[in-house]
Amino acid sequence: MSGDVDGGRRRFLAVSTVSVGGAGLAAAAVPFAESMQPSARARSLAAPVQVDLAGIAQEQMVTYAWRGQPVFVVHRSARQLALLQKHDDRLLDPDSKVDQQPAWARNPHRSQRPAWLVLVGLCTHLGCVPDYVGSLGREPFDPDWPGGFFCPCHKSRYDLAGRVYSGVPAPRNLLVPPYRFLDDGRLEIGIGPDVPADAQG
């Protein structure tokens, strides 16, 4: 009936047709899968938030909404910064070994510039929003409080770099989100410093 030549040709054509068709089907599946990614509207609602730093006094904290989360921006004073390294023995992860911050925040003040602290304001225990307690000295929960955050839900405590104390329910330091300085007076939460300030996100 069909010779060997035809049989070989037939098999080659069958394989190539099925391969090309299969590749086409796989390529056609991509738009459908991609359509399930966050849409432009979702991304716009999750867009970066700009912060005007001039309006934040020293030792003041302001909260911004970003991606449905509270983000703390703290203007740390010199005296607050001075106390930052004095209590490493009371902290669970003083050197920020656990991955709760980008590489550029793995430093003693857990930020790009010492004066400015940017943290996601959600307790790493069960997600409550901690209170900012910037005053130094005696506090009801700590006689020698060097400033930081106190979570009302289960009494977890963090210092002024967002590092968690040992012996509290929370297991990790507060999360540092990506942010960048657009200039000396403005900060943008949501985009990291590796993206230059004049480019769109």
Partner 1 sequence: MMARGWRRGWLFLGLVCSALASVQAADRASLQRGERMFMADCAACHSLKYLRYSRLQQDLDLSPEEVRRDLQRFGAKAEGPVISPMTPRIAGYAFGKLPPDLSLETAVRGPGWVRRYLGGFYLDPSAPQGWNNAVLQNAAMPDPFWRLQGIRANDGHGRPGGLLVPGQVAPRAFAGQLDDLVAFLSYAATPDVIQRRVLGPWVLAFLALFTALAWALKRVVWKDVKGSRGAT
Partner 2 sequence: MSGPDRQPSWLESRLPSLGQAWRKHVSEYYAPRNFNIWYYFGSLALLALVNQLVTGLFLAMNYQPSAQGAFDSVQYIMRDVPWGWLIRYMHAVGASLLFVVIFLHMFRGLMYGSYQRPRELVWLLGMLLFAALMAEAFMGYVLPWGNMSFWGAKVIISLFGTVPVVGDRLVQWIMGDFLPADATLNRFFALHVIGLPLAILVLVGLHVLALHDVGSNNPDGIEIKDGPRGHSMDPARPADGIPFHPYYTSKDLVGAGVFLWIGAWIVFFAPTMGGWFLEPDNFLPANPMLTPEHIAPVWYFTPFYAILRMIPSLFGSALWGTLVMAASILLLFALPWIDAGTIRSIRYRGRGFRWALALFVLAFLGLGLVGAGLVAKWLAVLAPAVDAGFWELLLGRVLTLMYFGYFLFLGLYTRLGWERPCKPLPERVR
DSSP per-residue string spanning 32-48? HHHTTS--HHHHHHT--
Q: Which amino acid is at 200?
A: Q
Q: Are 53 and 185 in contact (CB under 8 A)?
A: yes
The window from 38-46, 118-126, 168-176, 183-191 that contacts partner 2 (CB under 8 A) reads 38-46
Q: Are 172 and 101 in contact (CB under 8 A)?
A: no
The window from 27-35, 88-96, 102-110, 136-144 that contacts partner 2 (CB under 8 A) reads 27-35
CB 166 to partner 2: min, Å: 46
Measured from the CB atom, is 39 or 85 closer to partner 1?
Answer: 39
166 binds partner 1 (CB under 8 A): no
The residue among 155, 157, 150, 176 whose CA lies nearest residue 87 is: 157
Annotated catalytic residue 87: no
Instruction: Kindly state the number of chain residues that form the binding site for partner 2, as judged by CB under 8 A.
Output: 12
32 binds partner 2 (CB under 8 A): yes
- What are the catalytic residues? 154
